[in-house]
Chain A
Amino acid sequence: MSTELCWKRLRKEADTLKPRHLSELLADPQRFDRLSVRHDGLLLDFSRQRLTTETLEQLIDLAEAAELRPAIEALLDGAPVNLTEQRAALHTALRAPEGTKLKLDGKDVIAGVQQTLQAMERLVAQLHRGQWRGYAGEAIDTVVNIGVGGSDLGPLMACQALEEFTPDSARGIDLHFVSSMDGSQLSGLLSWLNPATTLFVISSKSFTTIDTLANAATARQWLVDASGLDAEVINAHHFIGITANPTKASQWGIPTSNQLLFWDWTGGRYSLWSGIGLPIALAIGMSGFRQLLAGAHSMDRHFREAPFTGNLPVLLALVGIWNINLLDIHAHAILPYDGRLARLPAYLEQLEMESNGKSVRIDGSDCSERTCPVLWGEIGPNAQHAFYQLLHQGTEQVMCDFIVPARRYVGQSQPLQEQHRLALANCLAQARVLALGDKALSEEQTRDAPPWKRYRGNQPSTAILLDELTPYSLGSLIALYEHKVYVQSVIWGINPFDQWGVELGKKMATELLEALEGDADPARFDCATRGLLERINRLGKAAEPRKG
């Protein structure tokens, strides 16, 4: 069957399903059993999606027609799936167990990955043992990760999610994350950190990212000033570089022994499994980090091996395709009902929107279908007090992912366990009300309600239920979304591994920096830019201290 035919059938299916309300579909008592799938401590429930098992079958036909099966093999086997940059996207190799074989251009990829893990283990052990010494000979007790995008969001999200898995050996190290180009996070930290015991991890795939290098330069100057030592000594004892560009890292001054390397086949937003994950390993120990990798690897194998009818990432992606391309829903909310996952929405914003925010196909033609929706999110219970009003009574259709662990606080205080039950109750209640609307109540309860107290319902959602949140299950969860993104890109025929859209702005910023420093002719900019430049430069001059 051709993809055109599949789309045609799906559009027909959509025409029959669009008028049907979720309350009608949920009347089928078998629905949960038919539309929920499980793998390894992760359950996906699609029964609150506006589709049927027949719809799923048709979506799977579309996936087959789009040659998803070979595309998955290509991804996992290291084919150059990133066509615009002619390279593989092998984040899955980063979590392959030792002894696995995978060659890329004749080189054993897994051996290199294991080497980096060993180097990481060495650094982590030295820091945890209190034997990484700063310039004054004191043990480093503070690590500041400087990075942006994939070099920040992944480690930050995972460290926050897994804080309670910190082993005793790691308690001596405080972690901080700095990303913002303007130095506001960094300057705040530097005002109270002890330079003698602070180590900076400079994470940058290219080691040319201006945001990161600007922060790194400020940090180094702070250390040079505090220690009275030259930059060479400071570089050796206060900086670790994590990069795919060792030449640039060395030029900046990071000694090779302090470098953790990854490869150009690791995309920034897919890099938390590589050396970029060093802060995670510092927070939860190497064994915790390896658990995270193992959980992701389990999802990789499932992705490759499971039939599409029970394949979690494939189904999650296809349900998204159904919502976006057939039900015309272009907003997607990520709603974790667990405060530990506070940074997950920001992480997934990058993963999904930087990957699939494309409108040109791999062959250069324009996309005929809509692609990645606008994605945002917040800790669910907090969002209830913020934007849920729009979900319940606004004019926009929104698809939601409810993410929640079933078990938490086991063996801890009763009040805490009650708090988790409260969060679970709210999660279940919101998903139910979004789906059913007024129909969640009895006829009498709603009959006399004024229009502004009515609930339309019919907002589709997926529930992602984790048995519990652990390094392993978090690894699985992240890999689930990574593969979902890939599956959607295959259906849409786009490249999820490049990000050319962010390049032009960077180039333009260089020119404008010159203009702000007075070295460029403002006449070459548009009138809006000119107007703002003039005003900024005038205010800047007025603020300069008067001479004489």
Chain B
Amino acid sequence: MKITIWGDELAGWVASAQLAAFGNDIIKAGSGMLPAQSSIRVEPDLLPQLQSARSAGRLISADERDPFEAEIHWLALAPGEFEEASAILAQLRARHQGPLLVINQSNFGTGASDLLQARLDTTLQQHVICLPDMLQEGSAIQQFAHPQVWLLGCEDEPARQKLSALLRPFSRDIVEIRLMTRREAEFTKFAITGMLALRLGYINELAMLADHIGVDIEVVRDGMGSDRRVGSHYLAPGCGFGGEHFTQYIEGLAGLLSEARGSTLLETVLTENERHKELPFRKLWRHYRCNVQGRRIAVWGLAFKPGVATIDNAPSLRTVNALLAQGAIVQLHDPEAIEEFRTQFGEHPQLVYCDDQYAAIEGADALILLTAWPQYWSPDYNLLHQRMHEPVIIDGRNVFEPQLLRDLGFVYYGVGR
């Protein structure tokens, strides 16, 4: 079948690779023919599959073929791109007098798929199906190929059959299909995201408490994960979650809850998360008895998570702002996000941008680690010790082994340990 896939979200790339591998002709409409974000590029098996689809001629760009001519369209746009989606559907409606199938995997929020459906004409068999994106980074291809369950927001039986045919190669060992309305499917996705935020909020709250009562949250978390009712996903304590989409999404849900229900549950999670982003700063502040004026502080990791070059809502923003306001000199390193950081903060007398992580710790009174990039996990401790002015390490992601660092003569602060 001929399918156009819109958008640069992970879900779109995975669908392109997998659908092409099973003989479909894919027109990829987006910014390029390979993902630009390193977090997507590192997705296991993704790049080779995309490349082989490309060389087999099953994956072509929107420049090579008119993307609107296909009758099946897959939307994997970013949460902020609803207007674009709406425009695509308007175009499709204008071009097609016959059947259309639109599979929406974008996180636009509850009700968006209904709005998209309103752009089409059901009497012409033009339908929107909502298939919420449940892929987890790191195992996305595997999950697409062997799903355990599908949440399907579909209100038209022939359309569902068409989608089933399309997904047949992946549904051989499927356990369940949960059929629901588009709105319910979107709300379920919403609910899951909120649940994950609650888990993160909860573990971070516990980590703060662990600090006070002198237990290691990593040990506690391990124990919690061993209970099958709890599981171990989304229980890594750290200095707060960031990212544009996740935060936007939770904000949307929190707003909805507080408006419709007067509930502050998720708002609290968001507020506490903002406070949590300053946890490393607060540890430093206490360490230096409320005065960091003129101190050199190294910051490793500016991106909101490893594998991305973006700093949207990243803990680094709040940390660096706080350090600047208190008169510290901040020496920054990030393998990918340094340029975006420089664009936002510009040249500043208190900021030193470093290409090398060890240049950042030169003469430092403390090292603050904010993003768990792989290259930070096992640094050259001797070099750290030699180059730092004071051997103080504030580990915002709990990547180091506290006892080892203390044995090596570092003052170590983690999150909840």
Contacting residues, chain A, for B325 (C-beta < 8 A): 126, 129, 131
CA of A133 to CA of B284, assembled, Å: 12
With A131-B322, A133-B326: A138-B282 Cβ-Cβ less than 8 Å = yes
CB-defined A-B contacts under 8 Å, sample of 26: A126-B325, A129-B325, A131-B321, A131-B322, A131-B325, A131-B326, A133-B285, A133-B290, A133-B322, A133-B326, A136-B285, A136-B286, A137-B278, A137-B281, A137-B282, A137-B283, A137-B284, A137-B285, A137-B286, A137-B290, A138-B278, A138-B282, A139-B278, A229-B290, A236-B291, A237-B290
Closest Cβ of chain B: how far from A126's Cβ, in Å?
7
Question: Is A390 part of the contact surface with B, judged by Cβ < 8 Å?
Answer: no
Contacting residues, chain B, for A135 (C-beta < 8 A): 290
Nearest residue, chain B, Cβ from A135: B290
CA of A137 to CA of B282, assembled, Å: 5
For residues 266 through 307 of chain B, which have their beta carbon under 8 Å from a beta carbon of chain A? 275, 278, 281-286, 289-291
Closest Cβ of chain A: how far from B270's Cβ, in Å?
15
Question: Is A233 part of the contact surface with B, judged by Cβ < 8 Å?
Answer: yes
CA of A526 to CA of B283, assembled, Å: 60
Contacting residues, chain A, for B322 (C-beta < 8 A): 131, 133, 137
CA of A233 to CA of B278, assembled, Å: 20
CA of A131 to CA of B278, assembled, Å: 11
For residues 120 through 143 of chain A, which have their beta carbon under 8 Å from a beta carbon of chain B? 126, 129, 131, 133, 135-139
The B interface is mostly helix, strand or loop, or mixed, namely helix
Closest Cβ of chain B: how far from A380's Cβ, in Å?
35
Q: Number of contact residues on B: which range applies? A: 10 to 19
Q: Which of A133, A138, A237 contacts B275 (CB 8 A)?
A: A138
Contacting residues, chain B, for A133 (C-beta < 8 A): 285, 290, 322, 326
- Residues of chain A touching chain B, judged by Cβ–Cβ distance below 8 Å, are 126, 129, 131, 133, 135-139, 229, 233, 236-237
With A129-B325, A131-B321, A138-B275: A229-B289 Cβ-Cβ less than 8 Å = yes
CA of A192 to CA of B151, assembled, Å: 47
CA of A138 to CA of B326, assembled, Å: 12
Contacting residues, chain A, for B289 (C-beta < 8 A): 229, 233
Contacting residues, chain A, for B291 (C-beta < 8 A): 236
Nearest residue, chain B, Cβ from A138: B282
Closest 10 pairs (CB-CB, A-B): A137-B285, A137-B282, A131-B325, A233-B290, A237-B290, A137-B281, A135-B290, A136-B282, A233-B289, A137-B286
Nearest residue, chain A, Cβ from B286: A137
Contacting residues, chain A, for B290 (C-beta < 8 A): 133, 135, 137, 229, 233, 236-237
Contacting residues, chain B, for A138 (C-beta < 8 A): 275, 278, 282
CA of A136 to CA of B281, assembled, Å: 10
Contacting residues, chain A, for B326 (C-beta < 8 A): 131, 133
Nearest residue, chain B, Cβ from A136: B282
Closest Cβ of chain B: how far from A134's Cβ, in Å?
8
CA of A158 to CA of B322, assembled, Å: 31
CA of A126 to CA of B326, assembled, Å: 10
CA of A137 to CA of B289, assembled, Å: 10
CA of A129 to CA of B289, assembled, Å: 22
CA of A356 to CA of B321, assembled, Å: 51
- Residues of chain B touching chain A, judged by Cβ–Cβ distance below 8 Å, are 275, 278, 281-286, 289-291, 321-322, 325-326
Closest Cβ of chain B: how far from A46's Cβ, in Å?
51
CA of A236 to CA of B291, assembled, Å: 10
CA of A233 to CA of B291, assembled, Å: 9
Given contacts A129-B325, A136-B286, A137-B282, 17 further A-B contacts (CB under 8 A): A131-B322, A131-B326, A133-B285, A133-B326, A135-B290, A136-B282, A137-B278, A137-B281, A137-B283, A137-B284, A137-B286, A137-B290, A138-B275, A138-B282, A229-B289, A233-B289, A236-B290
Q: Which of the listed residues B278, B286, B325 has the most CB atoms from chain A within 10 Å of its own CB? A: B325
Nearest residue, chain B, Cβ from A129: B325
CA of A135 to CA of B326, assembled, Å: 13
Closest Cβ of chain B: how far from A99's Cβ, in Å?
30
Contacting residues, chain A, for B275 (C-beta < 8 A): 138
Nearest residue, chain B, Cβ from A126: B325
Contacting residues, chain B, for A137 (C-beta < 8 A): 278, 281-286, 290, 322
Closest Cβ of chain B: how far from A464's Cβ, in Å?
42
Closest Cβ of chain A: how far from B328's Cβ, in Å?
12
Closest Cβ of chain B: how far from A174's Cβ, in Å?
15
CA of A129 to CA of B324, assembled, Å: 12
CA of A138 to CA of B282, assembled, Å: 7
Q: Which of the listed residues A126, A131, A133, A138 has the most CB atoms from chain B within 10 Å of its own CB? A: A133
Closest Cβ of chain A: how far from B239's Cβ, in Å?
13
Closest Cβ of chain A: how far from B295's Cβ, in Å?
14
Nearest residue, chain A, Cβ from B318: A130
Nearest residue, chain B, Cβ from A238: B290
Closest Cβ of chain A: how far from B160's Cβ, in Å?
48
Closest Cβ of chain B: how far from A183's Cβ, in Å?
27
CA of A131 to CA of B290, assembled, Å: 13
CA of A465 to CA of B77, assembled, Å: 58
CA of A135 to CA of B321, assembled, Å: 18
Contacting residues, chain A, for B285 (C-beta < 8 A): 133, 136-137
Closest Cβ of chain A: how far from B276's Cβ, in Å?
11
Q: Which of the listed residues B278, B283, B290 has the most CB atoms from chain A within 10 Å of its own CB? A: B290
Closest Cβ of chain B: how far from A497's Cβ, in Å?
41
Contacting residues, chain A, for B284 (C-beta < 8 A): 137
CA of A183 to CA of B326, assembled, Å: 34
Contacting residues, chain B, for A126 (C-beta < 8 A): 325
CA of A137 to CA of B405, assembled, Å: 24
Contacting residues, chain A, for B286 (C-beta < 8 A): 136-137
Nearest residue, chain B, Cβ from A234: B290
CA of A137 to CA of B290, assembled, Å: 7
Contacting residues, chain A, for B283 (C-beta < 8 A): 137
Q: Which of the listed residues B275, B289, B326 has the most CB atoms from chain A within 10 Å of its own CB? A: B289
Nearest residue, chain A, Cβ from B325: A131
Q: Which of the listed residues A126, A137, A138, A139 has the most CB atoms from chain B within 10 Å of its own CB? A: A137
Closest Cβ of chain B: how far from A61's Cβ, in Å?
61
Closest Cβ of chain B: how far from A16's Cβ, in Å?
67
Contacting residues, chain B, for A136 (C-beta < 8 A): 282, 285-286
Nearest residue, chain B, Cβ from A237: B290
Closest Cβ of chain B: how far from A530's Cβ, in Å?
51
CA of A139 to CA of B283, assembled, Å: 14
Nearest residue, chain A, Cβ from B324: A131
Closest Cβ of chain A: how far from B354's Cβ, in Å?
24
CA of A126 to CA of B281, assembled, Å: 17
Closest Cβ of chain B: how far from A138's Cβ, in Å?
7
CA of A131 to CA of B326, assembled, Å: 8
Contacting residues, chain B, for A237 (C-beta < 8 A): 290
Closest Cβ of chain A: how far from B306's Cβ, in Å?
26
CA of A237 to CA of B326, assembled, Å: 12
CA of A448 to CA of B321, assembled, Å: 78
CA of A136 to CA of B325, assembled, Å: 16
Closest Cβ of chain A: how far from B385's Cβ, in Å?
26
Closest Cβ of chain A: how far from B317's Cβ, in Å?
12
Closest Cβ of chain B: how far from A141's Cβ, in Å?
11
Closest Cβ of chain A: how far from B278's Cβ, in Å?
7
CA of A147 to CA of B270, assembled, Å: 36
CA of A133 to CA of B293, assembled, Å: 13
CA of A511 to CA of B148, assembled, Å: 85
Closest Cβ of chain B: how far from A546's Cβ, in Å?
38
Closest Cβ of chain A: how far from B186's Cβ, in Å?
31
Nearest residue, chain A, Cβ from B284: A137
Closest Cβ of chain A: how far from B403's Cβ, in Å?
26
Closest Cβ of chain B: how far from A54's Cβ, in Å?
64
Closest Cβ of chain A: how far from B201's Cβ, in Å?
18
Contacting residues, chain A, for B282 (C-beta < 8 A): 136-138
Nearest residue, chain A, Cβ from B287: A137
Closest Cβ of chain B: how far from A97's Cβ, in Å?
30
Contacting residues, chain B, for A139 (C-beta < 8 A): 278
Nearest residue, chain B, Cβ from A125: B325
Closest Cβ of chain B: how far from A258's Cβ, in Å?
13
Closest Cβ of chain A: how far from B91's Cβ, in Å?
39
CA of A495 to CA of B389, assembled, Å: 64
Nearest residue, chain A, Cβ from B326: A133
